[in-house]
Amino acid sequence: MTTQTQPIELYYAATPNGRKATIMLEELGVPYHLNYVRISRGEQFRPEFLAISPNNKIPAIVDPEGPGGEAPISDLRIRRHPAVSGQQDTPIPAR
């Protein structure tokens, strides 16, 4: 169960950390839109991507409901989501 109403923009590459991000969002039931970043073509160094993730790290998100509207996924979502942060007793539904 989530209170997220607008989809998160997830910038993703088929790396272990990218897979962890998609698994986490699926398990939490958070709506998201997947944007594939081709790191073999250097897309993580393009100015449009660096505006989202200045250190060119993947995965990255743009969360329209988050503080400031964007942050690296490891900084924002794990701390913000009650089911993960422990701020309230919210069970993660079984799949």
pTM value surpassing 0.75? no
pLDDT digits (tens, 9 = 90+) for 33-74: 999 999 999 999 999 999 888 888 889 888 887 766 555 554
Q: Which tops the pLDDT comparison, 85 or 51?
A: 51
Residue 26, classed as helix, strand or coil, is: helix
Of the pLDDT bands very low, low, confident and very high (cuts 50, 70, 90), residue 79 is very low
What is the residue extent of each domain of the chain? 8-85
Of 6, 60, 64, nearest to 30 (Cα)?
6
In CATH, the number for domain 8-85 is 3.40.30.10
